């Protein structure tokens, strides 16, 4: 959709959830990475697509940099939270990180749309979106005042991404 003004969207989640692969879909062909390299240490990826400024980073193993990334919370209009649906062992960690994000004053106080990508849906042992909703506690208190949506995606092919992005841009407008 066409938005009237620029907006900032955060793309966060644990390492290996598929953030870089998702972002590559929104990049213009000339700046697409042919190879997605896992992020090490604290690094923030930023780029602009149409009038959306994307800012992305890994939450895992970077807790000590939390105060650096919190700085991005105040001026974002939407959050994309990427989850590896096949990573059952770390679903609880993904929930903890999401809770910490949702409890942050800058996030908690606003009715910010949260798009959860239940990514890697193509993998045989991927949990269903319903299970991801339960595992992340999206049916609970912290998100009850926020518009949120879950989209089953395969970031390798792009399946499901457009529907999720459309929902988010409608919410932000």
* Contact positions vs ligand GDP (CB under 6 A): 13, 15-21, 36, 38-39, 58, 119-120, 122-123, 154-156
Which residue's CB is nearer to ligand GDP, number 77 or number 154?
Answer: 154
In the bound complex, what is the minimum distance in angstroms from residue 3's beta carbon to ligand GDP? 25
Is residue 94 within 8 Å of 136, Cβ to Cβ? yes
Which residue's CB is nearer to ligand GDP, number 112 or number 155?
Answer: 155
Is residue 164 within 8 Å of 78, Cβ to Cβ? no
> Own/partner pairs for 125-132, CB < 8 Å, 24+ apart?
125/86, 125/88, 126/85, 126/86, 127/85, 127/86, 127/88, 127/91, 129/85, 132/83, 132/85, 132/91
In the bound complex, what is the minimum distance in angstroms from residue 17's beta carbon to ligand GDP? 4
Which residue's CB is nearer to ligand GDP, number 156 or number 173?
Answer: 156
- Mind telling me the catalytic residues? 62
In the bound complex, what is the minimum distance in angstroms from residue 46's beta carbon to ligand GDP? 14
In the bound complex, what is the minimum distance in angstroms from residue 126's beta carbon to ligand GDP? 8
Which residue's CB is nearer to ligand GDP, number 2 or number 37?
Answer: 37
Distances (CA, A) of 78 to 20, 33, 82: 18, 24, 13
Residue 117 CA to residue 78 CA, distance in Å, equals: 13
């Amino acid at each position: 959709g066409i938005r009237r003004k620029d907006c900032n969207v955060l793309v966060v989640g644990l390492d290996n959830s598929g953030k870089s692969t998702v972002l590559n879909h929104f990049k213009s062909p000339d700046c697409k990475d042919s190879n997605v390299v896992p992020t090490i240490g604290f690094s923030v990826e930023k780029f602009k697509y149409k009038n959306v400024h994307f800012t992305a980073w890994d939450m895992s193993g970077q807790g000590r940099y939390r105060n650096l990334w919190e700085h991005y919370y105040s001026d974002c209009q939407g959050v994309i939270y990427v989850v590896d649906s096949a990573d059952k062992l770390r679903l609880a960690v993904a929930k903890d990180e999401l809770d910490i994000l949702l409890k942050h004053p800058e996030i908690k106080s606003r009715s910010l749309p949260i798009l959860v990508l239940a990514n890697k849906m193509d993998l045989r042992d991927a949990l269903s979106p319903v299970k991801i909703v339960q595992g992340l506690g999206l049916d609970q208190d912290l998100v009850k005042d926020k518009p949120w949506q879950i989209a089953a995606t395969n970031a390798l092919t792009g399946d499901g991404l457009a529907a999720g992005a459309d929902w988010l841009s409608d919410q932000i407008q």
